[in-house]
Structure 1
Amino acid sequence: MSINVAWARNELKVFLELAELHRPPQPGGGMVVISSSMSNRGSLAEIVKQAQVVEQILARVLPNWRTEISDERSKRVNRWCQHIEAAQRADAVLHREAEIRENLGDNAPQLSAAALHPWVWEGARALWQSGHFREAVTAAARKVNAETQNKVSRKDISETKLFQNAFSLTMKQGEARLRLMPDDGGDTFRSVHRGAMAFAEGCYAGIRNPNSHEDNLPELPEHEALEQLAAFSVLARWIDTADVEIT
């Protein structure tokens, strides 16, 4: 589902108003206090409540904001400085993204990790948002494997063997099979299920295994990790929508 831009920008605006930094007024009675400390206009309770919503917006608009935006000012000046800058950037993205893409000559469709199949994004989200892209892909692969085991009631096999069994063209007494279309005896039925089996094997042999078993691999670039998540999303959607047949 696409983001409601008007709603998101308003939530960011409310947060920025509450978190705005200012110097508190001087006390009365002729006393002057010299201080460089800055305070937020809203109360801590108000800011915390609004931050709960804003952080979810930031996760959609600027997934890596915690690592890409320095938190030094939050440590030295005010605890909300990192949030303030992230909210300002996110508001600019929401307000001007279409204009920027059009004028920079790249108006191609955009893929959001949050729009991938829920099994994939739920498995990857926490690691993805902390910038651990390779581990996020591995976690998504584990989630798809676990959901497939649940669907066909097979905890005794996993990954390649699991998908070979699930998409097998032959039925075996008491074993569940995943069917992407009815078996009409035609070539398309056989092709679809052989393809699904080969695709699943490719995802785990070519993506999941190297990510998990090779030591000292460099971190994946974000766009490459997103491509790998998309592959698992295709597989997850096939599995999720497949019918289960048992003889």
Structure 2
Amino acid sequence: MSKMDAAWAVAELDAFLSVTAQVVPRTGPGVVYFGTVMRGPRSEADERSLIVEQILDRSLPQWQLERPAKDKDYSWLRTQASRGRAAIERGQEVAARLGDTAPEMDAAHLHPWAWKNGASYWRTGHFHQAVMQAAIRINAETQAKLGRMDVSETALFNEAFSMEGPKSGRSRLRLAADDGGDTFKSLHRGARAFAEGLYAAIRNPGMHQAAGTDDEHLALEQLAAFSLLARWVDESTISSA
């Protein structure tokens, strides 16, 4: 995924803020209007709000957590747009001033199999569920690539990266050409162990996790691990009998 065009995003947010600003309407002589109205037409505000929401998804994670059921004249969304604008324009400055030079990881840049299915869960604070969706998607994609609907998860990956040669109905995934060397064996033995660890230690117990135990940082680490497995599967070649 490409880097956000900050100038464009800020311009879109400014346009939305301008259209939805509350102003005193112009009236004719002798006419007094008490109150304010939205500067622009509702139709334009509605259209621009769709773009604003997508910008906020990137610039203000979890911005929707306390979203009200009704937002008259976009007053709440205007506040989020202003906060998003500040985050985009001053994010690098704040990080530099606070001395935070550590690399950052954006979940949206992970492999699509690890991110897309759970993106909506992540944005509403359901981080654990996002990880579970990644595990489900990667399992399904691997089954589809190998044509193996008879096995899943740990058993699937154990067979996929097995050192045994392919058999009828049991194709293998290969991360490198088999040159008979130790590196080839080590690579696939590690991939098998890695996949088994993810499904045994994260996916299986995760299905029984109690509600309200989401940990954003831990979930991001888990998503990154599943993303690596997804990349291995996606980029591997199929060895068939």
What band does the TM-score fall into relative to the shorter chain? over 0.9
> Is contact 1:179–1:242 with CA below 8 Å preserved after alignment?
yes
Corresponding residue of 1:208: 203
Partner of 1:222: 216
Query: After TM superposition, where is structure 1 displaced by more than 4 Å over at least 4 residues in a row?
Result: none
Taking the TM superposition and a 5 Å limit, the aligned residue runs for 1:8-157 are 8-25=9-26, 27-28=27-28, 30-35=30-35, 38-68=36-66, 71=68, 75=71, 78-157=72-151
Contact 2:121 2:129 in 1 (8 A): yes
Q: Post-superposition shift, 1:162?
A: 0.6
Number of residue equivalences: 239
Q: Distance in 2 between matches of 1:50 and 1:17?
A: 11
CA contact (8 A) 1:132 1:219 kept: no
Give ranges in structure 2 of 5+ residues lacking alignment: none
Q: TM-score, normalised to structure 1's length?
A: 0.91
Find the counterpart in structure 2 of residue 194 from structure 1: 189
Per the TM alignment, residue 79 of structure 1 is displaced from its structure 2 partner at its CA by 4.1
SS of the residue corresponding to residue 200 of structure 1 reads helix
Two-structure CA RMSD over aligned residues (Å)? 1.7
3-state SS of the aligned residue for 1:170?
coil
TM-score (norm. length: structure 2): 0.93
- Identity %, equivalent residues: 46
Structure 1 gaps of 5+ residues are none
Q: Which moved more, 1:91-100 or 1:39-48?
A: 39-48
In structure 2, how many angstroms separate the alpha carbons of the residues matched to 1:79 and 1:171?
65
CA contact (8 A) 1:133 1:219 kept: no
Residue 122 to residue 20, structure 1, CA distance change in 2 (3 Å)? same
In structure 1, what residue type is equivalent to 2:4? I
Distance 2:189 2:84 in 1: 44
Report the AA paired with residue 16 of structure 1.
Answer: L
Q: Distance in 1 between matches of 2:31 and 2:38?
A: 22
CA–CA separation in structure 2 for the residues paired with 1:14 and 1:207: 44
1:31 is displaced (CA, Å) by: 4.0
| Structure 1 residues 66-107: Cα deviation after superposition (integer angstroms, max 9, x where no partner) | 115x538x54xx241222111111111111111111110111
Deviation string 1:175-227 (CA, Å, 9 cap, x unpaired) is 2111011011111111111111111111111111222123x243322222111
Residue of structure 2 equivalent to 1:237: 231
User: What SS is found at the alignment partner of 2:176?
Assistant: coil
Letter in 1 for 2:218: E
**Is 2:117–2:130's contact at 8 Å kept on the other side of the alignment?**
yes
Q: For 2:34 and 2:8, locate their aligned partners in 1 and report how far apart those are by CA, in whole Å.
A: 40
